[in-house]
Amino acid sequence: MNKIAQLAKKYKKEIINYRREFHMYPEASKKEFRTSKRIMEELHKIEVPCRIISGTGVIAEIKGNNFGKTVALRADIDALNVREKNNVPYKSKNEGLMHACGHDCHIAMLIGAAKILNNMKDEIKGTVKLFFQPAEELASGARDMIKEGAMEGVDGVFAIHVWSGLDSGKISAESGPRMAAADLFKITVKGKGGHGAMPQVCKDALVTASAIVMNLQSIVSREISPFESAVLTVGKLISGTRFNVIAGEAIMEGTTRCYSKEVREILENSMKRVIEDTAKSYGAEANLEYSFGTPPTINDENCSSIAIKSIEKIAGKDAISKMEKLAPGEDFAEYMSLAPGALAFLGVRNKEKDAFYSHHNERFNVDEDVLDKGAALYAQYAIDFLNDN
């Protein structure tokens, strides 16, 4: 066991306690006031300089005793509007809010990494920045931190996400696409309402909207290469007021997912054409509002290589695992658009500990015994990245 792994073991109980505390007091995106206050308190205890950023985020800095570049380690800190159903001592005390995606683990692991790195300044060749980022669930936190200068002088970035689909203790950090671009859209259909018994004098917005939903499905199957992955989902359709009234308006909302800039452009342009032309064929009008959310999360090849070597150092070759890319989005990609980086997945699935429910589920839980590995990986990657550069 190397030095970093040993230090992580030393802090393991504290890391688990941090996780449980943050789990008990989850806070919604952009309202993480208690969370950021507690993070600052723990960093101040070990004399790590830190400050508030983007309202409820925290940015900290650990300078090594040797000159070098700068690497940023990121943990997201917000919770979800989910009512927890776990019967555990650390169950959420904030009704209707829950850390159902593991961000409580990320905070705890990064505080643990701060303690490790603070003890190893002689081995740090450069500077390590710590990003405790708010509002990941709104896909706005990373952008806000970037606007306020978080990425100034940063040469590389790294993050860890605990993952319930991966066996406890296994870690995936391979290169290439890892998570999808997550974009949003809204479609408004304008027709002409009227009596349900007289469709001939109306332009039925509901029928038009239904046709648009069906026609949109052909984009992925007929306009995207079969070697690319993409999703186009209409998740909401609101239209009509009464059983015998033909709707004059329909509103739809949905999301697209893909793993490349080129596919993103195809989706937006093709959707606009299909929506407008379909509406015209029904004598109605339709408008597309397409909003770019998070870019695809694509691990840099060199950063991924460094991460895999770091995993081997702190947990051995057996911990290294491979995992299919995922369709959810992750705004960590915003940092990676400015500097090379990697996102690793730490497996927390353990059926014996009732930790096997999916993310965003009201029963989501983790195997806490592997959180020290996450803290160790944060620290090991930072040192290895700076040494590599």
The answer on 173 and 72 residing in a single domain is: yes
Which residues pair with residue 157 across a beta bridge?
A: 72, 341
Note the pLDDT tens digit of each residue in 248-275. 999 999 999 999 989 999 999 999 999 9
User: At which of 294, 317, 346 does a domain end?
Assistant: 294
The encoded tokens of residue 226 equal 């079969």
The answer on 170 and 301 residing in a single domain is: yes
pTM tops 0.85: yes
Question: Is residue 389 predicted with pLDDT exceeding 80?
Answer: no
Note the pLDDT tens digit of each residue in 175-210. 999 999 999 999 999 999 999 999 999 999 999 999
The answer on 210 and 160 residing in a single domain is: no
CATH number of the domain within which 197 lies: 3.30.70.360
Establish how many alpha carbons lie within 13 A of residue 365's alpha carbon, considering only the half-sphere containing its beta carbon: 22
Residue with tokens 């550069």: 389
Instruction: Give percent above pLDDT 90 in the chain.
Output: 99
The encoded tokens of residue 274 equal 């299909």
The answer on 160 and 46 residing in a single domain is: yes
Q: Round to whole Å and give the CA distance between 131 and 148.
A: 12
Instruction: Return the pLDDT at 291.
Output: 94
Tell me the mean pLDDT in the region 284-299: 96
* DSSP strand pairing (66-76 vs 57-63): unpaired
The answer on 311 and 290 residing in a single domain is: no
User: At which of 239, 266, 294 does a domain end?
Assistant: 294
The answer on 185 and 170 residing in a single domain is: no
Q: Round to whole Å and give the CA distance between 135 and 139.
A: 6
Note the pLDDT tens digit of each residue in 317-334. 999 999 999 999 999 999
Instruction: Return the pLDDT at 261.
Output: 86
Instruction: Give percent above pLDDT 70 in the chain.
Output: 100
Question: Is residue 304 predicted with pLDDT exceeding 90?
Answer: yes
* DSSP strand pairing (181-190 vs 249-258): antiparallel
Note the pLDDT tens digit of each residue in 218-245. 999 999 999 999 999 999 999 999 999 9
Instruction: Return the pLDDT at 7.
Output: 97
Which residue is catalytic, options 32, 78, 84, 183?
78
Instruction: Return the pLDDT at 278.
Output: 98
42 part of the active site: no
Residue with tokens 């790294």: 158
228-246 residues labelled b (16+ CB within 10 A) or e (exposed):
ebbebebeebebbeeeeeb
**Could you tell me which residues come within 8 angstroms of residue 167 by beta carbon, excluding any fewer than 6 positions away?**
321, 347, 349, 350
Instruction: Return the pLDDT at 33.
Output: 98
Tell me the mean pLDDT in the region 337-348: 98
The answer on 244 and 271 residing in a single domain is: yes
- The chain-wide mean pLDDT, for the chain, equals 97
3-state secondary structure (DSSP) of residue 350: strand
Question: Is residue 75 predicted with pLDDT exceeding 90?
Answer: yes
Instruction: Return the pLDDT at 245.
Output: 98
Which residues pair with residue 19 across a beta bridge?
A: none
The answer on 319 and 255 residing in a single domain is: no
Q: Round to whole Å and give the CA distance between 325 and 176.
A: 9
User: At which of 250, 275, 294 does a domain end?
Assistant: 294
Tell me the mean pLDDT in the region 339-353: 98
136 part of the active site: yes
Q: What confidence tier does 133 reach under pLDDT thresholds 50, 70, 90?
A: very high
The answer on 318 and 230 residing in a single domain is: no
Domain encompassing residue 348 = 3-179+296-388
Task: Pick the closest to residue 143 from 374, 343, 330, 370 (CA basis).
Answer: 330
101 marked among binding-site residues: yes
Instruction: Return the pLDDT at 1.
Output: 80
Question: Is residue 13 predicted with pLDDT exceeding 80?
Answer: yes
Task: Pick the closest to residue 231 from 263, 193, 274 (CA basis).
Answer: 263
Note the pLDDT tens digit of each residue in 350-363. 999 999 999 999 99
Q: Round to whole Å and give the CA distance between 154 and 50.
A: 16
Question: Is residue 217 predicted with pLDDT exceeding 90?
Answer: yes
The encoded tokens of residue 243 equal 């059983």
The answer on 354 and 367 residing in a single domain is: yes
Note the pLDDT tens digit of each residue in 22-65. 999 999 999 999 999 999 999 999 999 999 999 999 999 999 99
Instruction: Return the pLDDT at 369.
Output: 98
Specify the number of domains making up the chain: 2
The answer on 175 and 313 residing in a single domain is: yes
105 marked among binding-site residues: no
Provide the H-helix boundaries in the chain: 3-10, 12-24, 33-45, 103-118, 141-147, 205-223, 261-281, 301-315, 333-336, 371-388
CATH number of the domain within which 148 lies: 3.40.630.10
360 marked among binding-site residues: yes
State whether the Cα torsion 360-365-369-375 is positive or negative: positive
Instruction: Return the pLDDT at 19.
Output: 98
The answer on 306 and 192 residing in a single domain is: no
Q: What confidence tier does 12 reach under pLDDT thresholds 50, 70, 90?
A: very high
